[in-house]
Amino acid sequence: MPWLRLNDVGYDDPLVHAVGNSAYGALTRLKQYASAQRTDGWLPALKTRQIATRRELKALTNVRLGDGPPMLHQPGDECRCLEGKKWPEALGGYWVHAFLDENPSRAENDVHRAKTRELKDKELRAAVKGRDGMFCRYCGITVKWADRKTPAGGVLDHVDPKIAAGADNLVVACRGCNGRKKDCTPEAAGLILLPPPNLAAINAESTPDQPPITDRSPDRPETDPDPAQNTTQTENQAPPAESDTNTRPDPAQNQPQNPMITDGITDAMTTGTGRGRDGVAPQTGPTTYRDRVGDAGPNGHRPTVGPADTPRDQLAPNPYTRTATPPPQPPGHPR
């Protein structure tokens, strides 16, 4: 259930003074019903009459300021906030004026809830991390999952902020890129979606193989006397002479060898940097957000929710969206 959003300066609205405190209190209760039931502002006639008295309902539907709209619309009214609404006359009821100017629609709330569930889905998070590792898919740096404050901290980001689609729309990102992108596509935020890193190649280059054990340690003698033959000697007995045949076999020859070690490994290993150079597959070109960001296996598959089809404009944007931070301009760029 979404929270009801109210304008914090509505207490001084001239239309509020015109309808009176009683009618405005009834309107607030009607808005709470619309928010709880996620009706996008539509009110059934029976519920409206249960909450508002006849006098209050008359004030809410008829009092206007000049040519302005009332607080409650009836069937047949014309207003900007009713454009695109499916309100057949047989449905009846009332419609809260400009309800979606401050509140999300049912479709927008569905997408928001689905995205929130994805970010808390442990299986999905593991699938995305298993595909992307610890590398930001926008700038390529190595993120720090334990970092909760700095731009280097690791987060999961929805590439297309208008939908929830499981691992096909989730990538590992640093907090810096996530805060810069906000609720925009990478293109709109001036970012490039990098291809998934080749984690197998990175791990192979980052972990040197254990050298084979072929020689004995130089500080260890080749032969040791057998302790079983060192019996207790008397003061008058001389210790037995050490025999050349009493040679302990090399324990290294009896130990199982590391199966990962093979003959012919002579080149020095290199360590990947995770910044688009050593250890990361070369970028072949920018990846658009409409393409798959990389298969994360069956554990990353989720149904697609969205995009919401609610008509929006600059006067009434989606309340869930955040404006992207523009990318830094080069020196000398005109402002």
For 37-102, give the DSSP string. HT-TTEE-HHHHHHHS-HHHHHHHHH--STT---SEE-TT---GGGTT----TTT--EEETTGGGT
The dihedral built from the CA positions of residue 30, 35, 38 and 39, taken in this order, carries a sign that is positive
Lowest-confidence segment of 4-18, 40-54, 59-73, 269-283 by average pLDDT: 269-283
User: Residue 128: what are its φ and ψ, rounded to 5°?
Assistant: -70, -45
For residue 213, what pLDDT is reported? 42
115-119, 251-255, 319-323: which has the highest mean pLDDT?
A: 115-119
Lowest-confidence segment of 12-21, 112-121, 193-202, 290-299 by average pLDDT: 290-299
Q: In this predicted model, what pLDDT tens digit does every residue of 83-124 receive, in sequence order?
A: 888 888 889 999 999 999 999 999 999 999 999 999 999 999
Tell me the pLDDT of the chain averaged across its residues: 77
Q: In this predicted model, what pLDDT tens digit does every residue of 269-311 receive, in sequence order?
A: 333 333 333 333 334 444 444 455 777 877 788 988 988 888 8
> What is the pLDDT averaged over residues 78-84?
90
Bin 32: left if φ > 0, else alpha if -120 < ψ < 50, else beta: alpha
User: Residue 116: what are its φ and ψ, rounded to 5°?
Assistant: -65, -40
Residue 33 predicted with pLDDT over 80: yes
pTM above 0.85, yes or no: no
More confident residue, 282 or 139: 139
The CA distance from 126 to 113, in Å, is: 20
CA distances from 137 to 121, 293, 313, 326 (A): 20, 9, 31, 19
The 10 Å Cβ neighbour count of residue 241 is 6
The CA distance from 69 to 280, in Å, is: 59
Residue 163 predicted with pLDDT over 80: yes
Domain locations along the chain: 10-101, 106-203+278-300
With CA atoms as reference, report the closest residue to 123 among 306, 298, 305: 298
Which structure tokens are listed for 281? 């597959």
Residue 28 predicted with pLDDT over 80: yes
> What is the pLDDT averaged over residues 230-255?
49
For residue 228, what pLDDT is reported? 53
The helix/strand/coil state of 136 is coil
The CA distance from 25 to 15, in Å, is: 13
The helix/strand/coil state of 319 is coil
Residue 262 predicted with pLDDT over 60: no
Lowest-confidence segment of 122-126, 223-227, 263-267, 322-326 by average pLDDT: 263-267
Which structure tokens are listed for 316? 């009434």
For residue 70, what pLDDT is reported? 96
The CA distance from 126 to 148, in Å, is: 18
For residue 211, what pLDDT is reported? 52
More confident residue, 212 or 21: 21
For residue 239, what pLDDT is reported? 53
Pairing of strands 94-96, 42-43: antiparallel
> What is the pLDDT averaged over residues 234-263?
45
Under a CB-based contact definition with an 8 Å cutoff, are residues 183 and 322 in contact?
A: yes
